[in-house]
Structure 1
Amino acid sequence: MNPEVIDHITPMDTDSEEVHEESKGVRDAGFDKIIGYIEDLLMESEFQELQQKFLENYWHIFGPEEENKLIYMEIFNQYNQEIENYIVKQLKKSVPNFSIHVLLDQLNERRPELDGEVFEVLATLTDFLSFKEMILDYKAVKEGKVEDFSAGISITSIKSTSSERDEPTG
């Protein structure tokens, strides 16, 4: 190959790598933004009620045995559909071009590096064993085998309200 051609190709490859890194950064920012929206959705009472209702309807069917019954997969598919539809419907309000399939592909690509409750919930949509574990954890609480700490947890803002700032202390 002509050395002039080689000299010309090398900078182009470098530029290509820079463009790739830039597009990767844009993808990462988009992914992070979507995850932020999903975190907000998971905190909303509407989502909590949807998931709670589902768990309440089906916890008694599941058992800890390794062999899974056919109905488990039917319930998993129903859960997947209900939760996925809810997430897509809510996200499309903020991100009109949102695609659950793109998100699920990104989650699978990044699985080893993902940590946190939002990713655990999302895993229940794609991974049957994560879903079953969630159901069995709920069942253990319902049967009194473990303490339910969720009733004692409350989330409050660390910002004070204007009336609290105006009140004299002491």
Structure 2
Amino acid sequence: MDALEEESFALSFSSASDAEFDAVVEQLLERIPGFNMAAFTTLQHHKDEVAGDIFDMLLTFTDFLAFKEMFLDYRAEKEGRGPDLSSGLVVTSLCRSSSMPTSQNNLRH
């Protein structure tokens, strides 16, 4: 991440308002029945009680640097600066081609 990206992130993050935070919490409450932000923020104290991968994923929400990296990756992808995966994709038709020999084409009828 270059200095310009970091400065841009700091400016956009610092301009986030309490209303935006409240909107995120509201979405969490709508999507996760029984979600409790206070309980969520205490997860680090209970890390021995939570499975490793799940705990690591949940901690990324409270770890600022991990959150920042996720935010920058999302923004880069949204702006078209993400990795180009198109060279690794191959599209293959599952339908038979219309260029079949006539003998095979007659078998379809």
Task: State TM-score, norm by structure 2.
Answer: 0.45
State the structure with bigger RCO (CA 8 A, min sep 6), 1 or 2.
Answer: 1
Higher helix proportion (structure 1 or 2): 1
